């Protein structure tokens, strides 16, 4: 079975979010470690998952998370 396109998924794991949004891995994991209950986070037990549409809105105000060059 083929993997779904990340643009079609509503919920991404942190690794998928880094790949899809072209994020700095270090900055993103620091964000996840220091954020709790952000609007773009969902929890599955202890795992933090990223709500794609809400995170897209968050990135509009925080472009510093993206990788440079």
Residue with token string 């472009």 = 63
Residue 69 has pLDDT above 70, yes or no: no
Note the pTM of the prediction, 2 decimals: 0.87
pLDDT greater than 80 at residue 59: yes
Give the architecture (CATH level 2) of 9-65: Alpha-Beta Complex (3.90)
With 80 as the cut, is the pLDDT of residue 1 above it? no
Contact between 17 and 58 (Cβ < 8 Å): no
The residue that leads in pLDDT, 1 or 60, is 60
The pLDDT assigned to 2 comes to 76
Tokens linked to 16: 């998928």
Contact in structure between 50 and 59 (CB atoms under 8 Å): no
Per-residue pLDDT of 18-52, as tens digits, reads: 999 999 999 999 999 988 768 999 999 999 999 99
Would you kindly state where each structural domain of the chain is located, as residue ranges?
9-65
């Amino acid at each position: 079975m083929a993997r779904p396109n990340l643009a079609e998924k509503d919920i991404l794991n942190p690794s998928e979010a880094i790949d899809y949004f072209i994020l700095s891995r270090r900055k993103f994991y620091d964000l996840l470690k220091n954020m709790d209950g952000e609007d773009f986070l969902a929890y599955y037990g202890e795992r933090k998952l990223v709500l794609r549409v809400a995170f897209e809105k968050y990135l509009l105000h925080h472009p510093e998370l993206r990788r440079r060059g």
